[in-house]
Structure 1
């Protein structure tokens, strides 16, 4: 196990499977996850056709806040889902690619 794996595994909600998914989208450290944010990380995971549920989105946010994903406030969960489902306004739009 690398130091990066170990660092991510120390975060709440993240197990080896989640860490491997994060590494697949370029997140190797807590700082990487913090920089990208839970919503963008979730979008990138979904864009790679990796089958994850909304619990992954909650888990990522919980990891950033150092709380169990189930303890996130319902309104925060709803806001995360809303943001994750908004059309991507970045430079790359899959719908037009």
Structure 2
């Protein structure tokens, strides 16, 4: 796992780096191990009005070392499906950790 700072990834600026650090993601290696979708989920639940699909694209692109506009169409389509699932969970209030008898 890389201990490189988040800002060393392409497209990760100071605002996104701050959000990621607030979510407990401190290094490029931690982001890589977690993946873009889980990082997006954490950010979306923290900042639902500020984090958009473009953030998910940017996270994925950063891990791939490219600009988000250069992500392949099939990757963007898969990320869109993942973002919809995260948004639906957010609207439901997340997943219950236990159920009442």
Report the TM-score range of the alignment, normalised by the length of the smaller protein.
0.7 to 0.9
TM-score (normalised: structure 2): 0.77
- 1:33 aligned residue: 31
Structure of greater Rg: 2
Question: Cα RMSD over matched residues?
Answer: 2.4
Number of corresponding residues:
90
- 1:77 aligned residue: 76
Q: Is the 8 A contact 1:40 1:84 kept in 2?
A: no
Q: Which runs of 5+ in 2 are unaligned?
A: none
Q: Which runs of 5+ in 1 are unaligned?
A: none
TM-score (normalised: structure 1): 0.80
Deviation (angstroms), 1:84: 2.9
Deviation (angstroms), 1:86: 2.4
